[in-house]
Chains A and B, each alone.
Chain A
């Protein structure tokens, strides 16, 4: 299984809602990533988890709250988002065993904040 799955595929939420994005992989990867991609822009790294611990937070606002409950699962909890947070949210995973660890990306969740 070389797939990263993300649910839901699409999400529409209001600015007062609380929602969560889910990412799952069964490749035995111990690094997992969240990226944000605005339309016609490159992906931007948000968070990196290594061995289920947060290792990189790229100064992301606290309305985005990541969680890694186990080695296969990564969540992104959303609360009080703004319309400018509308974007494609990509999850990726990789091994952490050497300098070069190919990242495998999921198809993303397209988020619209009204």
Chain B
């Protein structure tokens, strides 16, 4: 699976959009981008995934660049409950996930 690179941490203001970048420059054509998050003291939680088209669900939007070398997870209106570690994973499927270091997102009031 392709390696992903994420900033170690970022802050965002409550009520504002949080844009989380992920670099996956060696991603292959059959690898998807998956996002999971882990709130403190809980197990990881699936957020969204995509191949090349932008995707949106009730939790977030995923924007993948045309060359697929990077992507951005957007939390449209961050709340304090969105404070978590966010993991970007490139994989052919989500049967065997390899979590990287992730981004620690802190939402501030």
Interface residues of A (CB under 8 A from B): 4, 31, 41-45, 48, 56, 90, 92, 94, 96, 99-108
Contact = CB atoms under 8 A, between A and B. Distances in A.
Interface stretch (B9-17, B37-45, B63-71): B37-45
Interface residues of B, number: 23
Interface of B: 32, 36, 38, 41-46, 49, 85, 87, 92-102
B102 A105 contact: no
A100 B97 contact: no
Contacts, number: 52
B79 to A, nearest CB: 21
Given A105-B45, A107-B41, A42 B95 contact: no
Contacts of B94: 94, 100-103
A107 B41 CA distance: 7
A30 to B, nearest CB: 12
Contacts of B32: 100
The listed residue with most A CB atoms (<10 A of its CB), out of B46, B49, B85, B100, is B46
Contacts of A48: 95-96
A105 B96 contact: no
